[in-house]
Amino acid sequence: MHEDFASICGGLPPELCEQLIREEQVIKIKLDTRKFGREVTIIEGLSNDKSELKRIAKILKSRLAAGGTVKEGRIELQGDHRHRVKEILTKELGFSPENIMIID
């Protein structure tokens, strides 16, 4: 994400630019059922930067006490954590609640 600051935000400070990028993102949180009825929470639309996704996934896994992974540009967490993920993304990671959609 950091390489894109200059092209997206021009001469703005990196902190301000990162906040602007976060406010423009549309994040989708949905529940998927895998084999044997296991539930997986999927978070899409966060970032194209794999290291940033891994950082966010690590925070979410720690706060939710759940396993998870980063695959194909999205975060997958074991179990149904849709509403708690939204709460963590808004309160702890600074994402705008208006841009987070929980898909039922």
Which pLDDT does position 1 carry in this prediction? Answer: 44
**pTM as predicted:** 0.80
Question: Is pLDDT of 25 > 90?
Answer: no
Which pLDDT does position 19 carry in this prediction? Answer: 72
Hey, what CATH class is 26-103 in?
alpha beta
CB atoms within 10 A of CB 32: 10
pLDDT band at 4 (very low <50, low <70, confident <90, very high): low
Q: Please report, for the chain, the start and end positions of each structural domain, with discontinuous segments joined by +.
A: 26-103
Question: Any idea which of 30-34, 59-63, 69-73, 94-98 has the lowest mean pLDDT?
Answer: 94-98
Name the more confident of 16 and 7: 16
Question: Is pLDDT of 15 > 70?
Answer: yes
Query: For residues 94 and 88, what is the distance between their CA atoms, to the nearest angstrom?
Result: 9
Q: What is the mean pLDDT of residues 68-74?
A: 94
pLDDT band at 8 (very low <50, low <70, confident <90, very high): low
Quote the percentage of the chain above a pLDDT of 90.
62
Give me the DSSP letters along 59-90: HHHHHHT--EEEETTEEEEEB--HHHHHHHHH
